[in-house]
Amino acid sequence: MTAAILNKDFVEQIEKAKENNSLIFFIGAGVTASQGYSSWNDYVRHLIEYWKYNFDKLKSEYPYKTDWISQLD
C-alpha cells in the first residue's frame, strides 16, 4: 500500500471513531516539550486560558450555536 492510501484509511478511521463517539487521544509527555512548555501543568494552563478566551468569543459571535459550550464548562 502506498502512503497516500494508508493516510486516507487512517483519516477515514478517525472520522468513523468521531461519528461513533469513540475517538480518544493519547498524549504523551513529549507534547509539552515540542510546544515549548516546561511542564504538562504549564501546557494545560495555556490551553485553559486559550479556550476560555475562544469560548467567550464564540458565545458573543454565535450565541445561537453555543448551547453545547455550557455543557462543557
Say how many domains are in the chain. Answer: 1
Question: Is 60 contained in some domain?
Answer: yes
The answer to whether 13 and 5 are in contact (CB under 8 A) is no
DSSP assigned state of 21: T
Segments forming the whole domain that contains residue 53: 38-73
State pTM to two decimals: 0.39
DSSP letters spanning 27-48: --THHHHHTT-SSHHHHHHHHH
Question: Is 55 contained in some domain?
Answer: yes
Residues sharing a CB contact under 8 Å with residue 38, sequence separation 6 or more, in sequence order: 32
Question: 32-54: per-residue pLDDT in tens?
Answer: 777 777 787 888 888 888 888 88
Express as a percent the part of the chain with pLDDT over 90.
1
Question: Is 58 contained in some domain?
Answer: yes
Mean pLDDT over 13-42 rounds to: 82
For cell 468569543, the residue is: 57
Shortest CA distance to 58 belongs to which of 48, 69, 49? 69
